[in-house]
Structures are given as structure tokens and as C-alpha cells.
């Protein structure tokens, strides 16, 4: 026998080829239609440019590198002095550069801190596109974008920092802000003893002339190489928001002691740390005692990004699934031609399309909130519902897309594994599912008239769609029922599905809106956990899973 090539035992065939360069904007018709329907059609050209850049094979490889070579903490320099810096792979800095150049970090804000008309929709579309490729760098991008929502509470800080925030140049150097071409913002809210209930914070803020000194810690301190952070601490007047710069006014590093980086399930390219404050220099942002109120201006914006970030992961996973099935042959037919596989892919696409329509409809409400009370009410009430549904649906969605690739999707060489590890984060960040459901109930109790207007607008948009009227009555019952807290997840998710149906009626063809209403409002059990149960079943099930101490 003649051997023509060493170790050539077989021919490689029936493997889907690498996707190559993809225009992430133009090939996503659900996105292009929704961008036009919700008022950002003029941004189509810049979105196409951004989607074309992000969809290149080069950026796909850089995303792999940024997550393979994770950030490293250097607590001290070689002479033994405190350094407290984090080093990143160059691939991470490339994504920061491109997203900031595209304005994902600040494009909604005008020079005076007002909103740029119509920009929320275009900016949310850019965030969605970036999320399809690399998610970790979007943590500081999102926080920088949202920080202005809190800085509004302190005009002097707004005047000082907004011009730096609005810069389209990413400057990674560890320097005082006045020496940099642009800045980024992080945040530090949660402590060891409590995350959701920030009023349990023990970190103290002590007045020091016109400034404060902060002593304490943060258990999750996101993106520690940012130039400034919004931090909650207890002042004499109560829980207060503070701006903590990385450098003090004299140009020396502030006393932020980075203890260690979190070893996270996903979001590996981004550094999340534990920090201790050793008399850190800080400036008050908003009145003493109104820290939660100040931060809420930031939280609403970050929650919208949680939605579009999860959507990007969905679309990225779906895109790989469709690509693979178009090339893979099973039983003498392409996978995509197999009837059952077609149903799976179509249902995944329908889920994502409804969620995308809702996200951009929500972004349009943010655009109009300052001038239209009904749109402001829609933004306040629907944001927690959208976050609960979309973010909690993402892990199951990505798993189903991964299954379309079989074992090829489960290995780390495929982006699906990274997407899957990333997928739970946005449901946890900025309020878990229970927090979102309870936020909706609190909003409904405080703003009964506003929620009635929102429900009326949804009813009008869905009046001809199947099952919508019955679903709407179920939501109303859930908001008013004596057992409304037990039913809160069901009510919240159903409200999101109704709002998505109404959004599809604006952005997609009637047959797509009808298919979504038929499949999501047709009486099937809510697919996320939290369906209400009667009697003692709840206690018994919990106790059976983990026996309570006697």
C-alpha cells in the first residue's frame, strides 16, 4: 500500500464552513424593519457600517481572544508599592475603541445633558449589534452611557464630566481625567451583606471640606479600570450617591484597594472586582439621603441595555444555528430542510423577533419620555417586564440554538459555548426576576392611572390579534388580586408578551404578529419559572428540595 500523506486517515467533509464576514445589520431583517418602524431609519447607514465591522471574521477572532486571555490584577508594582491596576488583552481594548467610536457609550446625550432626538433607538440597535460578538466590554460601555442619568442630579459634576464622557476616543491610559482624551464610568453598589437591598450598605461617607472620605467595601465593583465610579455609601443624611474618581484632584491615585477579581461563569473578558475604600476621596452626587433616587436615573438605562444585550446573545446564537443547518447534511437532506428542524428555527426566530420589537419600541419610549407622559409611563412600567421576560428567556434560547449544532456547539471552539455562559448575566444584573416582578407591582400601586393608559394602548394595538384580550384581562387580574405577589412573575411576563405583540403589530407583517400572539398568548403555561400554585404545595416543594432546620 502506498501512503501519500502522513497521518491522512480520512477526508473532512459535511462540516459547516466558518461564516466569514457578515453584515450583521443588513442580514437581520427583523432589525432593519424595527429600526425604521420606531423612528431611527436615518441611522441605517451608520448601523450598516457598524454591523459590517463587527461581523468580520477578524472581530469574531478578537472576541475569542478577549475571553480566552482574561484580565489580570496587579495589586503592587515591582518595587512593592500599591498599583491596583488591571491588565487586559489588546483584543478587549479593540472592542472598547470601536464601540466608543460608534457612540454606544454616550450618543444619546447632547452637550447640555439633554437627549438627542430619536437616538435611543439607534443606540440600542448598536448595543444589540455589539452584543452579538463580544459582551464583556459592554459592561463599562453601558455604565458610561447610564452614568449621565445620575450625574443630572448634580449639575457641577455634569458640567465637569459630560464633555469627557461624550468623547468618541477611547483612552486606556491610567491617568487623571483632565489628561485623557475620553473617560469611562463604572459603579459600585452591592456589599457582602446585601445586593438587592442596598439600604443595608455599611460603607460610610465622612465629610471632608467640600468633599467626602469613604471607608468600607464593595463586593461587586464593575470594570475597575474606569476613570470614575458611582458609589452608594451612608452619609449623615442617609444612603447617598457619590462620584469616586480613580485619581484625586492632586493627580495621585485614589485609595481604591482592589482585593481580587471575580472568577465568573461568563463575562470573562470584563473585570469585576472586590474593592476596599481606605478613606477614598469622593464627591456627592445628589442630595444626602437620596442615593436610591439618584441611582434610579441610571438603573432604568442599564436595564434597557440588559434587554438589548440579551437579545444580541440570542441573535448571535440563532445566526450560528441557521448557518450550520444550511450546510450540514443529515439523512440525505440539509438540516434546514428537515421539517422538525425548520419548526425549531422558526420558533426561535419568532421569539427573538418579538423580543427585538419590544426592545426598540421601549427605546422609542425613552426617546419621547420628556415630552409625552404616556411614553414616559410606558418606559417606566414596561422596562422591568421586558427585562424579566427577555433576559430570563435567553439561556433556554441559547441552549436550543446550541442543540441545533449538536456536539459542535458544545465545545469551546464554537461561540455558542461562550454565549451560553454569558446568557444568565443580564437576568441577574440590575435586578433579578423577582425584583423586576415586584417593581412592576410597586409601579402599578403607585401609578394606577398611568398603568391603565399603558394597558389601553396595548389593547388598542392588539385588538385584532388572537388571545390578546383574554391575556390582557389576566394581567389586570394579576395586578389587582390579593395574591398578586404570588402571581407577580406570571403577570409580569404576560405583560411583556402583550407589549411585544403590540410592538410587532407596528414593526412586522400581520402574519408575524399573529403567529407571535397565537404561540405566546394562547393559553400555554408561562415558560419561565414562577407559575402560581395553590395550598401548601409551595412550602412542601421548597422543603423537599432543602429540608428546613428544625
Give residue 86's pLDDT band: very low, low, confident or very high (50, 70, 90): very high
- Please write the tens of the pLDDT for every residue from 277-329: 999 999 999 999 999 999 888 889 999 999 999 999 999 999 999 999 889 99
Apex CA 521: angle with CA 520 and CA 524, to 5°?
Answer: 75
CA–chain centroid gap for 168, Å, is 21
Band (pLDDT 50/70/90 cuts) for residue 484 is very high
One of 3.40.50.10800, 1.20.140.10, 3.30.70.60, 3.40.50.12780 is the CATH number of 293-520, namely: 1.20.140.10
Place of cell 440570542: 314
**In the predicted model, is pLDDT for residue 473 greater than 90?**
yes
Given a contact cutoff of 8 angstroms between Cβ atoms, the answer to whether 43 and 122 are in contact is yes
pLDDT category of residue 344 using cuts at 50, 70 and 90: confident
- The C-alpha atoms of residue 225 and residue 229 are separated, in whole angstroms, by 10
Question: Quick one: pLDDT band at residue 544, thresholds 50, 70, 90?
Answer: very low
pLDDT of residue 546: 36
Which residue's C-alpha cell is 453601558? 142
One fold for 29-289 and 293-520: no
Maximum C-alpha span of the chain: 89
Taking CB atoms within 8 Å and a gap of at least 24, the contacts of 513-518 are 513/465, 514/465, 514/466, 515/350, 516/350, 516/353, 516/354, 517/462, 517/465, 517/466, 517/467, 517/468, 518/466, 518/467
Residue whose cell numbers read 486517515? 9
Q: Cα separation of 469 and 219, whole Å?
A: 45
| CA 343-349-352 angle, 5° bins | 140
The predicted pLDDT at position 529 comes to: 39
By percentage, how much of the chain surpasses pLDDT 90?
80
Total Cβ atoms within 10 A of residue 503: 31
- CA–CA separation, 246 vs 259, rounded Å? 15
- CB-CB contact of 194 with 200 (8 Å): yes
In this prediction, what percent of the chain has a pLDDT beyond 70? 94
* Mean pLDDT (whole number) for 346-369: 93
Give the E-state strand segments of 251-350 in sequence order: 256-261, 272-284, 329-330, 333-334
pTM value is 0.94
Kindly state the average pLDDT of the residues 82-101.
98
Task: Average the pLDDT over 190-216 and give the result.
Answer: 92
Region 490-518: mean pLDDT is 94
Q: How far apart (Å, rounded) are the C-alpha atoms in residues 262 and 278?
A: 20
Question: Quick one: fold of 29-289?
Answer: Butyryl-CoA Dehydrogenase, subunit A; domain 2 (2.40.110)
Asked whether 146 and 159 are in contact (CB, 8 A), the reply is no
Domain chopping of the chain, boundaries: 29-289, 293-520
Amino acid at each position: 500500500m502506498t501512503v501519500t500523506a502522513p497521518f491522512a486517515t480520512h477526508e473532512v467533509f459535511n462540516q459547516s464552513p466558518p461564516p466569514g464576514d457578515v453584515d450583521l445589520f443588513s442580514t437581520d431583517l427583523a432589525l432593519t424593519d424595527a429600526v425604521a418602524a420606531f423612528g431611527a431609519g436615518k441611522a441605517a447607514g451608520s448601523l450598516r457600517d457598524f454591523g459590517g465591522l463587527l461581523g468580520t471574521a477578524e472581530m469574531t477572532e478578537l472576541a475569542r481572544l478577549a475571553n480566552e486571555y482574561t484580565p489580570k490584577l496587579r495589586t503592587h508594582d515591582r518595587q512593592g508599592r500599591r498599583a491596583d491596576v488591571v491588565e487586559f488583552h489588546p483584543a478587549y481594548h479593540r472592542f472598547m475603541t470601536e464601540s466608543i467610536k460608534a457612540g454606544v457609550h454616550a450618543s444619546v446625550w447632547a452637550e447640555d445633558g439633554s437627549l438627542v432626538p430619536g437616538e435611543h433607538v439607534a443606540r440600542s440597535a448598536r448595543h444589540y449589534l455589539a452584543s452579538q460578538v463580544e459582551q464583556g466590554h459592554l459592561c463599562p460601555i453601558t455604565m458610561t452611557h447610564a452614568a449621565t442619568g445620575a450625574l443630572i442630579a448634580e449639575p457641577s459634576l455634569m458640567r465637569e464630566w459630560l464633555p469627557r464622557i461624550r468623547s468618541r476616543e477611547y483612552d486606556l491610559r491610567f491617568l487623571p481625567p483632565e489628561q485623557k482624551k475620553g473617560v469611562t464610568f463604572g459603579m459600585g453598589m452591592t456589599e457582602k451583606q446585601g445586593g438587592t437591598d442596598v439600604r443595608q450598605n455599611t460603607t460610610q461617607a465622612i465629610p471632608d471640606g467640600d468633599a467626602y472620605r469613604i471607608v468600607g467595601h464593595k463586593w461587586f465593583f464593575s470594570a475597575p479600570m474606569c476613570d470614575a465610579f458611582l458609589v452608594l455609601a451612608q452619609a449623615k443624611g442617609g444612603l447617598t450617591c457619590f462620584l469616586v474618581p480613580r485619581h484625586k484632584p492632586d493627580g495621585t491615585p485614589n485609595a481604591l484597594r482592589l482585593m481580587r477579581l471575580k472568577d465568573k461563569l461568563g463575562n470573562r473578558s470584563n473585570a469585576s472586582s472586590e474593592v476596599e475604600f481606605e478613606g477614598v476621596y469622593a464627591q456627592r452626587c445628589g442630595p444626602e439621603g437620596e442615593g436610591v433616587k439618584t441611582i434610579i436615573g441610571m438603573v432604568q438605562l442599564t436595564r434597557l441595555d440588559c434587554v438589548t444585550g440579551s437579545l444580541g446573545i440570542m441573535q448571535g446564537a440563532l445566526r450560528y444555528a441557521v448557518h450550520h443547518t444550511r450546510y450540514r447534511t443529515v439523512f440525505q437532506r440539509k438540516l434546514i430542510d428537515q421539517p422538525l428542524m425548520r419548526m425549531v428555527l422558526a420558533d426561535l426566530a419568532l421569539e427573538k423577533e418579538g423580543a427585538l420589537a419590544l426592545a426598540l419600541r421601549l427605546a422609542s419610549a425613552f426617546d419621547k419620555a420628556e415630552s409625552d407622559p404616556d411614553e414616559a409611563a410606558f418606559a417606566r412600567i414596561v422596562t422591568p417586564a421586558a427585562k424579566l421576560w427577555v433576559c430570563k428567556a435567553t439561556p433556554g434560547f441559547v441552549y436550543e440554538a446550541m442543540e441545533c449544532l449538536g456536539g459542535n456547539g458544545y465545545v469551546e471552539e464554537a461561540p455558542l459555548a461562550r454565549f451560553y455562559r454569558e446568557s444568565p448575566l443580564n437576568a441577574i444584573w440590575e435586578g433579578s426576576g423577582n425584583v423586576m416582578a415586584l417593581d412592576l407591582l410597586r409601579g402599578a400601586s403607585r401609578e394606577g392611572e398611568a398603568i391603565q393608559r399603558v394597558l389601553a394602548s396595548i389593547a388598542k394595538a392588539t385588538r385584532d390579534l388572537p388571545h390578546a384580550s383574554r391575556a390582557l384581562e389576566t394581567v389586570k387580574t394579576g395586578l389587582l388580586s390579593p395574591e398578586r405577589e404570588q402571581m407577580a412573575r406570571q403577570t409580569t411576563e404576560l405583560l411583556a408578551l402583550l407589549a411585544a405583540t403590540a410592538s410587532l403589530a407596528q414593526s412586522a407583517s400581520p402574519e408575524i404578529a399573529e403567529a407571535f400572539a397565537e404561540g405566546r398568548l394562547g393559553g400555554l403555561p408561562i415558560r419561565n419559572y414562577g407559575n402560581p400554585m395553590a395550598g401548601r404545595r409551595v412550602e412542601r416543594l421548597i422543603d423537599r428540595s432543602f429540608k428546613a432546620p428544625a
